A and B are shown apart, each in its own frame.
Chain A
Amino acid sequence: MHYDLTDQYHHRSSPIHHLDPRVKVVVTFLYILALSITPEGTWWIFGFFLALILVAVWLTHLGLVFTIRRSFIVLPFLLAAVAVPFTTPGSILLRVPGLGWTVSEPGVVRFVSILIRSWLAVQAAILLTATTRFPDLLWALGAFRFPKPLVSTISFMYRYLFVLVDEALRMMRARAARSAQVPGRSRPSIRWQGRVAGSMVGSLFLRALARSERVYAAMLARGYDGHMRSLIRFRMTNLDWLIFVLAVLFLVTPLILSLR
C-alpha cells in the first residue's frame, strides 16, 4: 500500500466541495452501507450506484477518472477472496484442467459482487476526503457525537503526522547514509538490522514523548483547560437538505425495488 502523503484534499469550487461536511459524511456512509446490503448479483443496482458515484465525481470538477485512478489500492486485498469461486457450492461453470478444481456460478457471482462493492466503496471514501478538509471531516464526526476525546486525539494526530513522518524519514536517510555496503562482504544479520530498526523506533518514541511535553506546556501557556475549541461552524442550508434527501432517496429506492 502506497501512502500519498501530499494533501488528500483537492480544492475546487464545486457544489460538492461547498456541501455541509455532515451531509457528505452521512451520505458516504449510507452509500457504503447500501452497497453492503445490495444482494449479490443484482447487477443493475451496482450499475446504478456506479452511475451515482460518477455523477458525484463529475459535479466535483475533479475529472471523471479521479476516483477510479486512485481506487486500485483495494486490489491487493482481493487475494483474500480469491478462493471464493472455487469453494462456494453450486452449479459448475468450468473445471481447471489438470488440478480438478471447479469454478461454481454462485462463487463467481459472489466474487464479482465483493470486487464491485469494495471498488465502489473506496471511490466514495476517496471522494469524501478529496472534497472535505480533514478538520471539517473531524468536526462532522464530532457533531455526530463520536467520542470527543477520540476526535480531538485524531485532529491532534493529523497536525503532527507529517512532522513525525518527516522525522522518521530523516532517521532512515541517516541510516542509509551510514550503511554503505562493501561488495563481496556479507550483509549484517537480520537480527542486527532489526535491532537497529527497533532502536530507531524507540528513539522516535522518545522524541514524540518529548515533543508532546513541549506542546502541552505551550498549550497551557495559552490557556488550555482540557477542552479543544474550534472555529469551524457549518449551518445546514436548504441546498444541503435537498441534496441529503435526494441522495437518501437514490440509495434506498433501488434496494426497496430489489425486495419485490
Chain B
Amino acid sequence: MWFAPYALHIPDGFLSTAVSTVGWLVALIVIGIAIRLTRHQLGERQIPLMGLLAAFIFAAQAINFPVAAGTSGHLLGGTLAAIVMGPWAATLIMTAVIATQGLLFQDGGLLVMGWNILNMGVFTAFTGYAVYVLMRRLMGEGARSRFVAAFVGAWLSVEVGAIATAFELAASGTSPLSLGLPAMASVHALIGLGEAIITTGAIALLRASRPKVLEAGETAPGRKGASFVVVGLMVALVVAILSPLASGSPDGLEAVAEREGFLNRALDPLFELLPDYSVPFVLNEAVTTILAVVLGTVIVFGVAWAIGRATIRKETVGE
C-alpha cells in the first residue's frame, strides 16, 4: 500500500565519497539559509507548523490515483509546499521529510542524503516556485494562469530533480550519462505528469476554499531570489559533477565527455581556481580531491548567492 513514487531516493553506495561529501556540504549551507529566513517568516510558530506540514507531505505522498496498467500517479510535494509556503520554508519541510524517510525507513541513504535533500527538496521547491512565479507574471492574475503555472512548475521540478540525479550517478561512475540521462528524464517526464495533475488539483481546491493561504505563499521570502538560487545551485551542481573527473578515475561520464570534447574546456576554469586541482600540504590524493571540491563548491555557491542578494537589494531599492 505504501509506495514511494520516485526512483530518486538514492541509497548509499551509488554515489562516490567525493560526490556525496559535496552534496552534504551544499545541502547544509542551503538548510542554514532556509532556517534563518523562515525564522523571520514564521517566528515561534516555525517548529509546530513546519513539523505538521512535513508530516502532511509524507502522508500526501501516499495519496495516489490509477493511471494505466497498474501504475499510478503520485505526489512528491516540493512544488506544492513551495507554492503555499515559499521556497525556503518548503526546503525545510522537504528536508524533514527526506531525513525521516532515510533515518526511519531507510528510503534513501545516509551518506548520500545531502544529494537526496537537494534533488527532491531544494531543486524541486526552487524550480517549481521560480517557474510558478515567472509564469504568473507572464500570464496575469487569473485563475487559469495559476493552474497552468502550477502544472508546468510541478512537472519541471520533477524533471530537474531527475536530471540532477542522473548527473550525480554519472559523476560517481554508477551510470553513464549517455544512458542514465535519457532514461531518468523520460521516465520522470511521465511521473512528473502525475505530480503536475495532483499539484494543480490541490491548488484548485485551495483557491476555491481558502484563497488567503495561496496569497500567503506569494509574499513568503525567496520570491525574488528564487531564480538566483536556482542558478547558484545549478552552477554548484556542475562544479560538483565535473570535479571527480579531475581525480583521474576513468568513468562513463569521462568517456562521454572526451568523445564530446567538452572535458578540457569545462575543466579549464577549475584549474585556474585551484591549481593542479589539489590543495598543497595534504598528501592523500582522495582527501585532497575532496577538499578541493568542497572548497570550489563553497566558493562558487557563495559567489552566486552574493550576486543574487546584491541584485535583489538593488531591485528592492528601485521599486
Interface size range on A against B: 35 or more
Tell me which residues across on chain A come within 8 A of B111, comparing CB atoms: 29, 32-33, 36, 121
Q: By the criterion of a CB under 8 Å from any partner CB, how many residues of chain B are at the interface?
A: 89
CB of B67, distance to nearest CB on chain A (Å)? 6
A117 and B12: CB pair below 8 A?
Answer: yes
- In the complex, the answer to whether A198 meets B200 with C-beta atoms within 8 Å is yes
Query: Which one of B167-175, B228-236, B266-274 is at the A interface?
Result: B167-175
Structural contact, A160 and B65, CB atoms closer than 8 A: no
Stretch at the interface among A53-61, A80-88, A240-248: A80-88
Q: Which one of A11-19, A70-78, A92-100, A231-239 is at the interface? A: A70-78
Among A88, A128, A161, residue most surrounded by chain B Cβ atoms (within 10 Å): A161
* Interface flag for B80 (CB, 8 Å): yes
Can you list, as one digit per residue, whether each of B15-42 has a CB less than 8 Å from chain A (1) or not (0)? 0110010000000000110010011000
Q: Which residue of A lies closest to B16 (CB)?
A: A36
Q: Taking chain A's interface residues, is the majority helix, strand, or loop, or is none over half, making it mixed?
A: helix
With contact pairs A29-B110, A147-B32 given, residues A157 and B205 touching in the complex (Cβ less than 8 Å): no
B294 vs chain A, min Cβ distance (A):
15
Complexed CA–CA distance, A79 and B286 (Å): 28
Asked whether, in the complex, the Cβ of A201 is within 8 Å of the Cβ of B75, the reply is yes
Contacts of A32 in B (CB 8 A): 12, 109-111
Residue A68, interface by CB 8 Å: no
Chain B neighbourhood of A1, CB < 8 A: 2-4, 9, 107
Contact A153 B63 (CB under 8 A): no
Asked if A81 and B174 sit within 8 Å, CB to CB, the answer is: yes
Q: Which of B118-161 contact A (CB under 8 A)?
A: none
Task: Kindly report which residue of chain A lies nearest to residue B15, judged by CB atoms.
Answer: A36
Interface residues of A in 112-143 (CB under 8 A from B): 114-122, 125-126, 128-129, 134, 137
Closest A-B pairs by Cβ, 7 of them: A198-B201, A156-B51, A117-B13, A118-B13, A202-B205, A194-B197, A121-B12
8 contacts across the A-B interface (CB closer than 8 A)? A4-B2, A8-B104, A88-B251, A150-B35, A165-B58, A190-B65, A197-B63, A224-B44
The residues of A with any CB-CB pair to B shorter than 8 Å are 1-5, 8, 28-29, 32-33, 35-37, 70, 73-74, 76-77, 79-81, 83-84, 87-89, 110, 114-122, 125-126, 128-129, 134, 137, 147, 149-150, 152-161, 163-165, 167-169, 171-172, 190-191, 193-206, 208-209, 211-212, 215-216, 219, 224-226, 228
> Which B residues contact A (CB, under 8 angstroms)?
1-4, 7, 9-14, 16-17, 20, 31-32, 35, 38-39, 43-56, 58-60, 62-68, 73, 75, 80, 84, 92-93, 95-97, 99-100, 102-107, 109-111, 169, 173-176, 179-180, 194, 197-206, 209-210, 213, 250-252, 255, 286
**A73-B107, A164-B59, A197-B75 given. 12 additional CB < 8 A pairs?**
A4-B2, A36-B13, A117-B12, A118-B109, A121-B13, A121-B109, A193-B65, A197-B198, A197-B201, A198-B203, A201-B75, A208-B56
